[in-house]
Structure 1
Amino acid sequence: MATSLSLKMARLREMLQLHKHFHTYFKVIPAVTPDLVREAQRIRHSVYCEELGWEPVNEEGLEQDSYDENALHCLLMAVRSQRYIGCVRLVLPQVGHPDHIFPIQESCRDTLYAGYPDLEASERGETAEVSRLAIVADYRRRKNELSKPISIDLQEDATIQGRRRFPYIPVGLYIGMLEMASFYGIKTMYMLTEPLLATHFSRLGGNLKPIGDAIEHRGRRRPYVMEVEEVLKSANLLLRPLIWTIRRDVNSVLSDSLCPWEIEEQFKKKWRHREAT
């Protein structure tokens, strides 16, 4: 009994220090330059092409597709080694091009529920699709994760001396992409992922809602939707210091990368969003 209580107290102390632990070992970095985008594409090539064989290996060592040019990319760095170890992207709608489709529409075709994606919101530039989440092999801890580009399990994570370890890497990428979406005025995000992964994201406050039937796409996948600000506001209380830490880092990089008139436009987008909500 005493041992069980001790483990619970240790777990609580760890949760209260999540933001400090994360900042010591990891940093979320928006890929705001062509060189940084290539770093994300290198990770994708390592995971999707070399490890999983989902895409063909190429001499450049970059996994690219037609959606990259119209996407926001995000990286996760291991602070001590200064090595990029994870990535994710947000595919944006092409405003003024109603024939443009998201990857989720290409994969799911007729299995999406009516009204998804929201074409009017897409035309306003308020939607995006999360895709190409990937973590390099030596940071996917368990053997059963090596056949997946990313894994997050808040219940059965790996243990150290009897204590579960918090999945800093996928959660850091998850929060980073949410903050990038918020910064650019994106209100709604779509995701095609494993139902179990969606459940674990929802435990963080994600509240992913199914928007179509499950399909076979590199395993069983189902399309989901999430509301950006709702997720950020309803996150677990113990996660909020971690969210604030990552939001601060992401906002700092994005603000520094914009010209003055672009910063003004982003401010206007955020102001319009606050007025609407």
Structure 2
Amino acid sequence: MSETYDTFKRAFNLIEADTEELRRIVFQLRYQVFCLHYEYLPASNYPDGLEKDEYDERSVHMLVQFIPTGKFVGTVRLILPDRSNTESSFPLELNTQIDPVLYNADAATKKYTAEISRFLISPDFDRRRRDRRKPSGDNQPSNSAITIQSATNNVPVKERRKEERRKSDRRCLSFYMVLMAAVVRMTVAHDIKYWLSAMDPALNRLVGFSGMNFDPIGPIIDYHGLRRPYLGVVNDVLHRVSERNFGAWEVLTDRGKYCWPKKN
């Protein structure tokens, strides 16, 4: 057992949001992050404090629970194919530009394709982790934090928060791994073979060191920040991870419970 897997098992639980109460927690987290913190979505559209959309009914949702506190600190959903209507589009197909040469969305492919969406870790949780890493008695922000703040004081709030999100994405590689572990569990449960995702290109490059990167299928656009549409072939991604970072593979697959380490 790798140290990475051992740390993951001691720190996090992955819990499917399969009840009304758990889904409410999912929607509350999404509201706090996407509407209040990053302001990607207007809070006024969600007066009940629950960020929901029309794709939630054809999605499965997972929550990340931090074991030491018992609090839910992250969530991700997998938008499933509409197998009764293969013409149904995914959000990525409607909001990005897909090169048909790179992604052939025929009925046979879409039947086994799902979109990774609403992928988040609470910024408050990450902030507490950074605070705990400060030397004892140090109540001041780090020099790098001061520099970033000073450099962005005159930048509009939404632009600052887009940049903050990009920096947070790059900083939270371990969180990306945890959320992808949740994605893998939902993927296996619903017989998914292909992943779609709109992702920050910098994050996709970063996770490539562990083999978790996807293949670009269109240009970069401004879609809740700089995003690019990507396609991941599930077995190919997990096979790369098993070769490049076995600890990450153990986390993603629960030590092989959710896949085989070799390509079929």
The bucket for the TM-score relative to the shorter chain is 0.7 to 0.9
In structure 2, the residue matched to 1:148 is 165
Please report how far the alpha carbon of residue 32 of structure 1 lies from its aligned counterpart in structure 2 after TM superposition: 2.3
Q: What is the TM-score of this pair, normalised by structure 1?
A: 0.72
Q: Number of paired residues?
A: 228
Q: Which amino acid aligns with 2:124?
A: D
CA separation of 1:236 and 1:104: change in aligned 2, threshold 3 A: same
What is the aligned counterpart of 1:26 among 1, 12, 15? 12
The answer on whether the counterparts of 2:181 and 2:251 sit within 8 Å (CA) in structure 1 is no
Contact 1:152 1:200 in 2 (8 A): no
Which of 218, 228, 233 matches 2:234? Answer: 228
Cα distance between partner residues in 1 of 2:196 and 2:223: 16
TM-score (norm 2): 0.75
SS in 1 for 2:120: strand
2:37 to 51, 54, 59: 51
Residue type matched to 1:119 in 2? Answer: D
CA 1:70 to 1:117, structure 2 compared with 1: closer, same or farther past 3 Å? farther
Partner Cα separation in structure 1 for residue 221 and residue 112 of structure 2:
26
TM-superposed CA distance for 1:201, in Å, is 2.5
* In structure 1, C-alpha distance between the alignment counterparts of 2:255 and 2:54, rounded to whole Å: 29
SS across alignment from 1:173: helix
Does residue 119 (structure 1) correspond to residue 106 (structure 2)? The answer is yes
Equivalences for residues 127-142 of structure 1 within 5 A: 127-141=113-127
| Matching residue within 49, 61, 65 for 1:61 | 49
Q: Distance in 2 between matches of 1:176 and 1:221?
A: 22
Contact (CA 8 Å) 1:176, 1:250: kept in 2 or not? Answer: no
Could you tell me which runs of 5 or more consecutive residues in structure 2 were left unpaired when the two chains were aligned: 131-144, 149-159
State the Cα deviation string for residues 66-125 of structure 1 (Å, max 9, x = none): 0001011111110011111011111112113233110001111xx2111535222345x3
TM-superposed CA distance for 1:138, in Å, is 1.8
Two-structure CA RMSD over aligned residues (Å): 3.1
Are the counterparts in 2 of residues 75 and 88 from structure 1 also a CA contact under 8 Å? yes
CA distance in 2 between partners of 1:225 and 1:127 (Å): 9
**Structure 1 counterpart of 2:165, one-letter code:** K
- TM-aligned CA deviation for residue 139 of structure 1: 2.5
1:104 is matched with 92
One of 170, 190, 197 as aligned partner of 2:196: 190
1:76 lines up with 2:82 in the alignment? no
Structure 1 CA distance for aligned equivalents of residues 220 and 173 of structure 2 = 26
**SS of residue paired to 1:234:** helix
- Check conservation: 1:150, 1:170, Cα contact below 8 A: no
Specify whether residues 245 and 224 from structure 1 end up closer, same or farther in structure 2 by C-alpha distance, changes over 3 A only: closer
